[in-house]
Amino acid sequence: MSRTSRVIQRRRPPVRSSPSEGSGEGGRDRRNRRTAVALALSAALALTAFTHPGAAPAPLLPGCATSVPYTADTSGYDTFRIPAVVRTDRGTLLAFAEGRRASASDTGNIDVVLRRSTDGGCTWGPLAVVAAGRGDTRGNPAPVVDPVTGRVVLLTSYNSGAVTEGQIMRGEVTAAQSRRAFVQSSADDGRTFSSPREITAAVKRPDWRWYATGPGHAVALTRGPYAGRLVVPANHSAAPATGSADTGQEPKYYGGHALYSDDHGLSWRIGFVDDTYDGEHNSNESAVAQLPDGRLYLSSRDQHGVAVGNRLDSYSSDGGRTLDRPYAVQPSLDDVPVVQGGLLQLRGWGEPLLFSGPSVPTARQAMALWRSRDAGRTFTKLLTLSQDRAGYSDLVQVGPGTVGLLYETGVAGTYERVVWRRVVV
């Protein structure tokens, strides 16, 4: 991690939403927590199992059930996409997104941007550029709060702004133009971030072409033998076998994998890899949560696999190093289209696992929230937030039984706004 933090570029003043009901996020200042805590990490986390590693949630305050951190055609950006959100130890909400300057395209001049909220999502501070594309593509934010240091660790992906995902998957680009992975961090509650540091050599296999971190928040393990580990879901595409007539752009070459760090984000390793490539299930963008029993639950987008259904899932009992079983279709999420989804395990014994995503199987529309009370074996729809168009989403806990949902939505188009919604579950 770079030792020198730079002040990230500020873009616009705070904007207040129209109040209706909502939450306030206080929380005790954890600045006095230092490296010595790491010596007792496993024991401390075991004693406080299934509680937030930082400050306790503050009482909910009236107002701001909804707000809009990002609106298209503002701050010099055509479109904002790919939301990710975390809550720091001080109770600050950090809403990350891709700021796409010229169009809504996945290709081109794209920055990773951030807005902070210190009042539970009622208002958002000025837009800040965390990782500047400078003509190239930086995106797929995957943030996580380290439970020992309190630092915000952020993984992102990069490629040349002149190439497309298809060209990368077909192997038509140079190594410098292709997908690469970076990490950076913040030690001051998200006010500034270190410069991106490349970790591609440690996390991308030589035969992988496409590569993406997240998107959406990663997870810090808080119990079990791997307490303190940071786990980031990621995905890739593989090159076809030598002599194959395939180009590599076929969906069957997509696969999911995990990254993990046992030293607070300084070094990274590849964990499990889904490398079946048979076209039955094509795991792609994934989300991860730690269950009350310490296992990881993974929910993945199925990128046009031949099996019926668009959501896959699996489990890991060793902190993300391997999967307990291959990815399989999750039939109780059969109304979710081909899209990324949010995942969150609420804190507290007996609390549910939540999933967020659009709820029309053939369209990105009608953002909804599902609940599982059996560790992800089955899900039941809790509510549909709106019938409007909807895309990617992420979830964060903001209080007892209360979550914040950050998601793409619009009326005429799916990517008109990135909206914050507070939901009592």
d(Cα 203, Cα 193) in Å, to the nearest integer?
21
Q: Quote the pTM value.
A: 0.87
Reported as a single tens digit per residue, the pLDDT across 394-406 is: 999 999 999 999 9
Sign of CA dihedral 339, 205, 110, 234: positive
Which two structure tokens, joined as six digits, stand for 408?
A: 């793409």
Residue 78: band (very low, low, confident or very high) from pLDDT cuts 50, 70, 90:
very high
Reported as a single tens digit per residue, the pLDDT across 106-125 is: 999 999 999 999 999 999 99
Span 12-38, average pLDDT? 38
Distances from the Cα of 102 to the Cα of 108, 126, 177, 401, angstroms: 7, 21, 19, 40
Count the Cβ atoms, other than its own, within 10 Å of residue 355. 30
Q: What is the pLDDT of residue 306?
A: 86
Least confident segment among 21-25, 210-214, 355-359, 404-408: 21-25
Task: Please determine, for residue 17, whether its predicted confidence score (pLDDT) is greater than 70.
Answer: no
Query: What is the C-alpha end-to-end distance of the chain, expressed in Å?
Result: 38
Task: Please determine, for residue 1, whether its predicted confidence score (pLDDT) is greater than 70.
Answer: no
Q: Write phi, then psi, for 200 (nearest 5 degrees).
A: -55, -45
In order of start, what are the domains of the chain with their CATH numbers?
A: 5-424 (2.120.10.10)
Task: Please determine, for residue 14, whether its predicted confidence score (pLDDT) is greater than 50.
Answer: no
Reported as a single tens digit per residue, the pLDDT across 272-287 is: 999 888 899 999 999 9
Residue 4: band (very low, low, confident or very high) from pLDDT cuts 50, 70, 90:
very low
Q: What is the pLDDT of residue 398?
A: 95
Q: What is the pLDDT of residue 63?
A: 55
Reported as a single tens digit per residue, the pLDDT across 179-213 is: 999 999 999 999 999 999 999 999 999 999 999 99
Which two structure tokens, joined as six digits, stand for 373?
A: 């009370």
In 266-333, which ranges are continuous DSSP H helix? Answer: none
Least confident segment among 26-30, 136-140, 254-258, 357-361: 26-30
What's the half-sphere exposure (Cβ side, CA atoms, 13 Å) at 95? 31
In angstroms, how far is CA 135 from the centroid of its own chain? 24
Sign of CA dihedral 258, 260, 226, 33: negative
Span 121-146, average pLDDT? 98
Q: What is the pLDDT of residue 19?
A: 32
Peptide bond preceding 240: is omega within 30 degrees of 0, i.e. cis?
no
Q: What is the pLDDT of residue 308?
A: 87
Structure-model confidence comparison of residues 377 and 7, the more confident one: 377
In 17-70, which ranges are continuous DSSP H helix? Answer: 41-47
Task: Please determine, for residue 33, whether its predicted confidence score (pLDDT) is greater than 50.
Answer: no
Q: What is the pLDDT of residue 24?
A: 37
